[in-house]
Amino acid sequence: MADDHGFYTPLGRTGLKIPRLCLGTVSFGGRVEEDAAHRLMDHALAQGINFLDTANIYGWRVHKGYTEEMLGRWLVGRRSEVLLATKVGNPMSDDPTDRGLSARHIVAACDASLRRLGTDWIDLYQMHTVDRAVPRDEIWQAMDKLVSQGKVRYVGSSNFAGWDLAATQEAAIRRDGFGLAAEQCVLNLVTRETELEVIPAAQAYGIGVLVWSPLHGGLLGGVLRKLTEGTAVKSAQGRAAAALHHHRETIAAYERFCAERERHPAELGMAWTLSRPGVTGLVIGPRTTEQLDGAINALHITLTEDELSILDIMFPPIGAGGPAPGAWMS
């Protein structure tokens, strides 16, 4: 449960309190230059958003690891004020040992992230992707070593299937370990597959759920109005642009729905994701302080049952909705 102000909440079954908004940094060192990134982090911290999420691969438009280096420069003198999350698993070079979740790579990649970030510890060290070729006992051997050395406080996963969460957690339990503290997955009005098994598995094991792409790459952020005004940036490319081709009528109806309620589409879309059972918080990727303030506004929006029902009609859940197997057996 969130605290009385609804801003901070426990990360799953841990004793760690985190803000319900985490500042994601995937755009830092590409769409967001360093000075602007520092201003965003300053503004976030001033608003109480003390949780930063990055990955060792971020910044690839310059070079892999560049975003961690940027964060390291900003963290000087601030490290004790910040919760810091990064990730391991994606290829960092052409070297076949410089990727995946082998014990060798996990330990080496953690040390490299620590050097780039200029810190002695990572608060949440996340497996960026599943590596089913590696025994889970090997993964936990490496992660447990990092925790015992004080280099990592909590271990998380990202983009795991529900059965991966269960298998990974059961492996930790066999080793008398704490296991996963958080899973980072995609969930938004357009992409609801994780409601079937990923989030229910996380709930069953007391694993916090951090949602990335709550606006489907900008598709739910007022894309049609932005395209008309010529102000679309992220929503004019990638996943959002591809999805708009298939969902244009629904997105138009959604933007009318938001206008009738005098709500910004991005704020209402994030409020919907925050309202989902099992969701701990959102990993947001604002490019401006105004967008960051809009995300904070979403924390104060409470959708009525009627509004939630209308949104379910616009953006139907999988099958009958809710967790599997009921979603397809009703």
**Taking 70 as the threshold, does the pLDDT of residue 10 lie above it?**
yes
Question: Between these two residues, 277 and 228, which has the higher pLDDT value?
Answer: 277
Number of Cβ atoms within 10 Å of the Cβ of 157: 27
pLDDT band per the 50, 70, 90 thresholds, residue 242: confident
The residues facing 21 across adjacent strands are 282
Instruction: Verify whether residue 58 is a known catalytic residue.
Output: yes
Q: Could you tell me how far CA 134 lies from the centroid of its own chain?
A: 24
Burial (Cβ within 10 Å: 0-12, 13-18, ≥19) of residue 329: exposed
Q: pLDDT, tens digit, for every residue of 68-94? A: 999 999 999 999 999 999 999 999 999
pLDDT band at 6 (very low <50, low <70, confident <90, very high): confident
pTM across the whole model:
0.94
Q: Looking at residue 4, what is its pLDDT? A: 45
SS3 158: strand
Average pLDDT over residues 156-171: 98
Q: Summarize the confidence of residues 293-297 as an average pLDDT.
A: 97
Q: Are 154 and 182 in contact (CB under 8 A)?
A: yes
Closest CA relative to residue 18, chosen from 10, 26, 29, 28: 10
Q: Write out the E strands in the chain.
A: 8-10, 17-19, 21-24, 51-53, 83-88, 122-127, 152-158, 180-186, 208-212, 281-284
Question: What confidence category does residue 1 fall into, taking pLDDT thresholds of 50, 70 and 90?
Answer: very low
Q: What is the mean pLDDT of residues 279-295?
A: 96
- Nearest alpha-carbon partner for 107 in 94, 88, 92, 121: 88
Determine the Cα–Cα distance for residues 18 and 149; give it in Å rounded to an integer.
23
CA distance 175 to 4: 36
pLDDT, tens digit, 9 for 90 and up, residues 175-231: 999 999 999 999 999 999 999 999 999 999 999 999 999 999 999 999 998 888 877
Q: Please write the tens of the pLDDT for every residue from 42-51.
A: 999 999 999 9
Above 90 in pLDDT, residue 233? no
**Active-site option among 58, 66, 154, 205:** 58
pLDDT score of 128 more than 90: yes
The strand pairing partners of 86, in sequence order, are 125
The confidence band for 234, taking pLDDT boundaries of 50, 70 and 90, is low
- Alpha helices (H) in 13-135, listed in sequence order: 34-46, 66-75, 103-117
- Is residue 159 scored above 70 in pLDDT? yes
Q: Residue 275: what pLDDT?
A: 97
Angle at 41 (CA atoms; ends 40, 42), nearest 5 degrees: 90
Q: What is the pLDDT of residue 228?
A: 85
Q: For residue 174, is pLDDT > 80?
A: yes
